[in-house]
C-alpha cells in the first residue's frame, strides 16, 4: 500500500512541485550563486561539511511536519485562547505558547501557525495587531534560543563545538530570563480591554500517533545532543512520515538543509583565503568582539549564515550563541522568523503593510537595544 502512495507522489507531479518550491527559495538561490562563485577561488574541503548538522536539520524539519500533520499546536492554541478574557491576557497566552512551542518545533513553524490564528481572532473582534504579532515573533525567537534544537544555528553550534547539554543551558537560561523580562515590559503596554470568549475548535489529538511521534522526536533530540549519530534520528523521522502519510515528506523544508550545505561550501572556501582569514580573525580577538560582530552581522545577512561564518573562525562559542540569538531581533532579515512574520501579516493582516513594517521594526530595534545590553551583562557577569 505504501508503494502505491509513493508512486502516486511521482504520478501526480507532486515531486516536481517540491523541486519547484525548493528552487523558489530566495535564500537558497543566493546561497547557490555565492557557492558557485566561491568555487573559482578554491576547492571546498569535505572535512568542512558538517554532515551531522545537515542530518539533524533534516530530522527536525521532518518531525515538525509530522506534528503539523497531527495538528498538535493547533489543539493547544485553541484550548488556551478560549480561556482569555482580555486583550492583554490573549496576547500573553499567544506569547507564552510561542515561547514553549518554539523550544521544540522551531521558531519558523511557530509563527507560521500562531500568527494567522491570532490575526483571524483579531479580525473577528477588532483587536490590536502590530504589537501582539510582533511579540509572537519575538517570543518564537526567544523560545527557539532556549533549546539546542529550537533553531538551526543552535543545532550548528552544538555539532560544531560539541557543546555539553548542561553547558548549553547555562547560556540559554539567563538569556530566556532576560527575554521574558523584555516581553513582560512590552505586554504591559497593551490595554486590558474586555474580550468576548473565543470558542474552542473541535480538534482531537490522535493519542497513539502522537506518542510514537514524541518518541521519535526524543530520538532526534538525543542525536542533536550528540549521544547517538544524528542520521539515526533522520532515518527514524523519515520512516515515521512515510508510515503515516508519504505526502508529509513533500512539505519538509529541504531548502534549509541545502542552504546549510551551501553555507559550509562557502565558509570552506573562505577559510582557504588568507586575506579573509586575517580580516575575520581580527574581529574575533575577544568574547565581546565576537558577540558584537555576530549581533551586528545578523542585521545584514541574518543570524544563521552569520553563525556558520563566524563559527569557523572563533572558539568563543558562548559569545556567538548570545550574539546570534539576540541578533535575531532588529531588522526584518535578522532571522528567517522575522521574514515569516512579515509574510504572514502580508497574507492575513487587516492593516497597511507599511504601517506594520514600521511598527514591527520600531519594537524590534527597541527590543534589540535593551536585550543587547542585557546580553553584554550576561557575558560579563554570568558566563
Interval 115-131 mean pLDDT: 87
Return the higher-pLDDT residue of 116 and 317.
317
pTM: 0.84
pLDDT exceeds cutoff 80 at 82: no
pLDDT exceeds cutoff 70 at 320: yes
Domain spans in the chain, listed from the N-terminal domain onward:
2-271
Q: Name the phi and psi angles at 86, rounded to 5.
A: -135, 165
pLDDT exceeds cutoff 70 at 119: yes
Residue 7: predicted pLDDT: 52
Residue 71: predicted pLDDT: 86
Q: Which of 54, 59, 105, 106 has the alpha carbon at shortest distance from 238?
A: 59
What is the C-alpha to C-alpha distance for residues 12 and 160, in angstroms, rounded to an integer? 40
Write out pLDDT tens, residues 194-233.
877 666 666 677 889 999 999 999 999 998 888 899 999 9
Interval 294-316 mean pLDDT: 89
- What is residue 226's DSSP assignment? T
Residue 22: predicted pLDDT: 82
DSSP for 118-184 reads HHHHHHHHT---HHHHHHHHHHHHHHHHHSTTSSHHHHHHHHHHT--HHHHHHHHHHHHHHHHHHHH
- What is residue 262's DSSP assignment? H
Rg over alpha carbons for the chain, rounded to the nearest Å, is 21
Over pLDDT 90: what percentage of the chain? 48
Residue 1: predicted pLDDT: 44
The 10 Å CB-count burial string (b at 16+, else e) for 30-44 is: ebbeebeebeeeeeb
Q: How many CB atoms lie within 10 A of CB 5?
A: 12
- Is 227 strand, coil or helix? coil
Amino acid at each position: 500500500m505504501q508503494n502505491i502512495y509513493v508512486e502516486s507522489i511521482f504520478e501526480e507531479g507532486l515531486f516536481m512541485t517540491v523541486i519547484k518550491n525548493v528552487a523558489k527559495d530566495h535564500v537558497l538561490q543566493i546561497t547557490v550563486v555565492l557557492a558557485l562563485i566561491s568555487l573559482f577561488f578554491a576547492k571546498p574541503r569535505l572535512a568542512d561539511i558538517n554532515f551531522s548538522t545537515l542530518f539533524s536539520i533534516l530530522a527536525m524539519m521532518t518531525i515538525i511536519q509530522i506534528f503539523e500533520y497531527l495538528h498538535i499546536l493547533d489543539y493547544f492554541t485553541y484550548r488556551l485562547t478560549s480561556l482569555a478574557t482580555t486583550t492583554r491576557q490573549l496576547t500573553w497566552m499567544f506569547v507564552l505558547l510561542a515561547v514553549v512551542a518554539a523550544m521544540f518545533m522551531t521558531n519558523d513553524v511557530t509563527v507560521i501557525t500562531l500568527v494567522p490564528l491570532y490575526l483571524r481572532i483579531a479580525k473577528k473582534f477588532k483587536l490590536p495587531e502590530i504589537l501582539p504579532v510582533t511579540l509572537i515573533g519575538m517570543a518564537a525567537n526567544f523560545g527557539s534560543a532556549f533549546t539546542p534544537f529550537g533553531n538551526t544555528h543552535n543545532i550548528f553550534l552544538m555539532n560544531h563545538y560539541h557543546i555539553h547539554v548542561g553547558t548549553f543551558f547555562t547560556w540559554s537560561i539567563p538569556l530566556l530570563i532576560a527575554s521574558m523580562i523584555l516581553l513582560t515590559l512590552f505586554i504591559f503596554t497593551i490595554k486590558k480591554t474586555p474580550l468576548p470568549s473565543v470558542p474552542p475548535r473541535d480538534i482531537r489529538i490522535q493519542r497513539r500517533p502522537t506518542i510514537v511521534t514524541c518518541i521519535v522526536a526524543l530520538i532526534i533530540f538525543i542525536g542533536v545532543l550528540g549521544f547517538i549519530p544524528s542520521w539515526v534520528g533522520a532515518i527514524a523521522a523519515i520512516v515515521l512520515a512515510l508510515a503515516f502519510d508519504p505526502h508529509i515528506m513533500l512539505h519538509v523544508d529541504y531548502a534549509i538543509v541545502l542552504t546549510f550545505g551551501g553555507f559550509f561550501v562557502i565558509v570552506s572556501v573562505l577559510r582557504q583565503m588568507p586575506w579573509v582569514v586575517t580580516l575575520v580573525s581580527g574581529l574575533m580577538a575577544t568574547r565581546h568582539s565576537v558577540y558584537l560582530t555576530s549581533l551586528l552581522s545578523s542585521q545584514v545577512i541574518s543570524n544563521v549564515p552569520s553563525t556558520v561564518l563566524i563559527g569557523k573562525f572563533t572558539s568563543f562559542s558562548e559569545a556567538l550563541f548570545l550574539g546570534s540569538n539576540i541578533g535575531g531581533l532588529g531588522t526584518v532579515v535578522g532571522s528567517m522568523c522575522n521574514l515569516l512574520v512579515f509574510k504572514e501579516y502580508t497574507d492575513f493582516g487587516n492593516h497597511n503593510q507599511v504601517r506594520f513594517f514600521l511598527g514591527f521594526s520600531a519594537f524590534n530595534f527597541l527590543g534589540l537595544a535593551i536585550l543587547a545590553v542585557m546580553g553584554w551583562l550576561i557575558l560579563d557577569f554570568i558566563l
